[in-house]
Amino acid sequence: MCQLFPYAEFVTRWLEPEQQRAWRAYVRMQSELNAHLSRQMSAESEISMADFAVLVQLTDTPEERVRVLELARSLNWEKSRISHHVGRMEKRGLVRRESCGSDGRGSFVVLTDRGRSAIEAAAPSHAETVHKLVFDLLSDTEVQALREISEKIFTGLTTGECAAVVARRYADDAVEVVPEESGCPEARANRDGVDVEI
């Protein structure tokens, strides 16, 4: 928005050749890597990547129980996605819901024994796969570069005008989020893995 040069909105900025090569390489890599990780996870365990992500959040917590909205926020999923997914996981016995005493609306998602053994079974080979597909191929410098690039892009996504779009995902209806510059990135608690080191 707020363009100094009004035509700027109408002149298309195509990608430079070097950018285009980088972009195509990234897009392709990322889609294949995702596919591979999902496939490996499904093949070598009874859970999917999505299940894994949920279970990691649960094992990250001492009490092994997390509020639904807390899950949604830390995974950056829509709350309805969580709800559906937890429903399916519950059917398979990986988690269980418990009502929240202090807040009648809320509910907890609780790790079951089956859930714990499922993630403990899945995590090692997943970690090994990440090593084989990523870190075995990259130098320390490249690992650092990957992190810096990822952080820059991610920060851009959660700042300024982009943040408004992200915020929509947790609201029930389109709350007019004023793009206030004083975004609060510190709200993202940095939780460290306890049991499962991924």
Indicate whether 175 belongs to the interface with a copy of itself (CB under 8 A): no
Interface with a copy of itself (CB under 8 A), residue from 28, 84, 88, 98: 28
Backbone angles phi, psi at 150, to 5 degrees: -60, -40
Q: Is 179 in the site for a copy of itself (CB under 8 A)?
A: no
DSSP states along 117-174: HHHHHHHHHHHHHHHHHTGGGS-HHHHHHHHHHHHHHHHHHTSHHHHHHHHHTTSSS-
Q: Rounded distance, CA 48 to CA 88, Å?
A: 12
Select the residue interacting with DNA from 37, 42, 134, 167 (CB under 7 A): 42
77 is a site residue for DNA (CB under 7 A): yes
Q: With CB cut-offs between 5 and 8 Å by kind, which of DNA, a copy of itself, none does residue 171 bind?
A: DNA
For DNA, the closer CB: 72 or 196: 72
Q: How far is the CB of 86 from a copy of itself (least distance, A)?
A: 19
Q: Report the site for DNA in 90-109 (rule: CB under 7 A).
A: 97, 100, 103-108
Listed in sequence order, the residues at least 6 apart from 163 whose beta carbon sits closer than 8 Å to its beta carbon are: 157, 177, 179, 183
